[in-house]
Chains A and B, each alone.
Chain A
């Protein structure tokens, strides 16, 4: 199983939409993923180390090095399928490479 961490400003709206969208799309594509949604400011290196992919809403500046692959997931929020597609493709590529 691939563990993905989504993050936004309140951990309620945007990251939740990202969470649901990624889970649905990856299930459709045949991957077993688990996505959690948190508030950007609550992220620690320790928390990130438990995930395989980080999907923040926009380019993050956390003040420490991010050691897992990062995919900016903001375009999912436009609700226009063609714009969300590249985000899913990027995630799929990372999953394929990781051989999990």
Chain B
């Protein structure tokens, strides 16, 4: 392990110093070629990643340039200090993929998955290569706080990585239930957002005890979504948040229009550039899947993909629609919050996990969602300096704005893991008994809650099995 890390450090440190898109062009192309992808396809992927990084940088530049003056005025007139701009997940993903360490964490996670399959510790083959950025984000966060302690970062990534794969096995029967999948359907997901399940389950069990009757008030989620219509779409949200900031920042009518249209265009274009970046990683994903799946093709496997197959359930969207205004209101009054919801205001980092734990009980989803939202806002606030730093390192941040400008994300997946990463990073940066104990206690509690959750899920899965036999 130590030598692996030393090799990684000696290779990556000088490369990282070059910084930015060209490095990732070279690295991604090489790695995809090594994985057996045709060179022209590999190069296409590398180029697209470099272009996506550059494009995200340009968008962030426009966003900050337009919103910063209005946000400062907003602070002045309202007294509400929310200087961090929420860019949502596509820029965060792109920025994280802009770091060579993400490729290193990817290799670690593939090795872990293959080992778990060989040792029969899981049934899941994870082909969702691109979402490794969530783990890489955690690893990089540890490194940021610990002055580059790669060993600590690697250990935490491995722990969360293993639990994530176990969780995808645990959730599989629930997916079959929620989406009417036949037993033969292999779809599951290792997505980090479901690592919030244990906490959500704690609250779900509390509701069982305190107000079991609230489920009677559940309503039809699809009807609500159809009523909301285009008001919940990206461009609409961007536009009315622009108006919101503009009005309370006492901007001119003309400036308010500019803010509204800029907010709308940025949120739309973040997604468009997000698709470039997805197709950038595509050749590598296919190459890795070809290599790994060949080995296990004779096994009965679950296949871990990105979470959006759950998007077919309307409850997920209804909860996101209801939570959006709640989050905005909360952001204005929550002590310690410094982030203004924008790109992440539709909480897709949260509602899929609510859906899985409550199995679509919309009132519970809303209540538990509201209870855990502060966690997301605080983590968004805490991680903003790191995100901004990363954006600068990979060349996706304007250099000509004041150093006080920060970007972050309000509904970043895996808020608990981010908090642990900060605690671990602080331990790495200042090793003493107190910081060591904190790091230890944090991870032990995290694992214990997960074990309790796994036990609950196994009970749930036994019930599914019994019901299937009686049908």
Same complex for A and B? Answer: yes
Give A1-55 interface residues, CB cut-off 8 Å to B. 7-17, 20, 37, 39-42, 44
Beyond known contacts A8-B306, A14-B306, A59-B179: 11 more, CB 8 A cutoff: A8-B308, A10-B311, A16-B278, A39-B311, A40-B308, A40-B317, A42-B230, A58-B309, A59-B181, A64-B222, A77-B306
B232 touches A41 (CB 8 A): yes
Query: Interface of chain B, helix or strand or loop or mixed?
Result: helix
Using known A-B contacts A9-B308, A12-B278, A39-B311, determine if residue A80 contacts B220 with beta carbons closer than 8 Å.
no
Q: Does A57 contact B (CB under 8 A)?
A: yes
Q: Does B3 contact A (CB under 8 A)?
A: no
Chain A residues within 8 Å of B279, by CB: 16, 20
Using known A-B contacts A9-B348, A13-B278, determine if residue A78 contacts B305 with beta carbons closer than 8 Å.
yes
Task: Select one of B221, B229, B297, B308 contacting A14, CB under 8 A.
Answer: B308
Q: Does A62 contact B (CB under 8 A)?
A: yes
Task: Select one of A7, A9, A42, A63 contacting B222, CB under 8 A.
Answer: A63
B309 touches A41 (CB 8 A): no
Chain B residues within 8 Å of A69, by CB: none
B187 touches A79 (CB 8 A): no
Chain B residues within 8 Å of A79, by CB: 127, 285-286, 289-290, 293
Min distance, Cβ B407 to any Cβ of chain A, angstroms: 19
B315 nearest in chain A by CB position:
A61
A16 touches B275 (CB 8 A): yes
Q: Does B233 contact A (CB under 8 A)?
A: yes
Min distance, Cβ A42 to any Cβ of chain B, angstroms: 5
A63 touches B306 (CB 8 A): no
Q: Does B274 contact A (CB under 8 A)?
A: yes
B316 nearest in chain A by CB position:
A9
Give B104-138 interface residues, CB cut-off 8 Å to A. 127, 130
Chain B residues within 8 Å of A17, by CB: 278, 282
Min distance, Cβ B316 to any Cβ of chain A, angstroms: 8
Binary flags per residue of B332-365, CB closer than 8 Å to A gives 1, else 0: 0000000000000000100010000000000000
Q: Does B154 contact A (CB under 8 A)?
A: no
A64 touches B226 (CB 8 A): yes
Give B299-331 interface residues, CB cut-off 8 Å to A. 303, 305-314, 316-317, 320
Chain B residues within 8 Å of A15, by CB: 308
Chain A residues within 8 Å of B179, by CB: 58-59
Chain B residues within 8 Å of A60, by CB: 312
B310 nearest in chain A by CB position:
A9
A61 touches B312 (CB 8 A): yes
Binary flags per residue of B228-258, CB closer than 8 Å to A gives 1, else 0: 0110110000000000000000000000000
Name 23 A/B residue pairs within 8 A (Cβ), A-sorted: A10-B308, A12-B90, A12-B274, A13-B274, A14-B305, A14-B309, A16-B275, A41-B225, A41-B320, A42-B230, A44-B229, A58-B312, A59-B181, A61-B222, A63-B220, A63-B221, A74-B187, A74-B309, A77-B306, A78-B127, A78-B305, A79-B127, A79-B285
Chain A residues within 8 Å of B130, by CB: 13
B306 touches A41 (CB 8 A): no
Min distance, Cβ B346 to any Cβ of chain A, angstroms: 9
Using known A-B contacts A78-B127, A78-B303, A78-B305, determine if residue A58 contacts B282 with beta carbons closer than 8 Å.
no
Q: Does B81 contact A (CB under 8 A)?
A: no
A73 nearest in chain B by CB position:
B309
Chain A residues within 8 Å of B348, by CB: 9-10
Q: Does B186 contact A (CB under 8 A)?
A: yes
Chain B residues within 8 Å of A20, by CB: 279, 282
Min distance, Cβ B276 to any Cβ of chain A, angstroms: 10
A16 nearest in chain B by CB position:
B275
Which 7 A-B pairs rank lowest in CB-CB distance, beginning with the nearest? A63-B222, A9-B308, A9-B311, A8-B308, A41-B317, A58-B309, A79-B289
Task: Select one of A10, A37, A42, A58 contacting B187, CB under 8 A.
Answer: A58
Using known A-B contacts A14-B305, A79-B289, determine if residue A41 contacts B311 with beta carbons closer than 8 Å.
yes
Once the chains are docked, how many angstroms separate the CA of A67 from the CA of B89? 34
Chain B residues within 8 Å of A12, by CB: 90, 271, 274-275, 278
Min distance, Cβ B293 to any Cβ of chain A, angstroms: 6
B311 touches A8 (CB 8 A): yes
A61 nearest in chain B by CB position:
B314
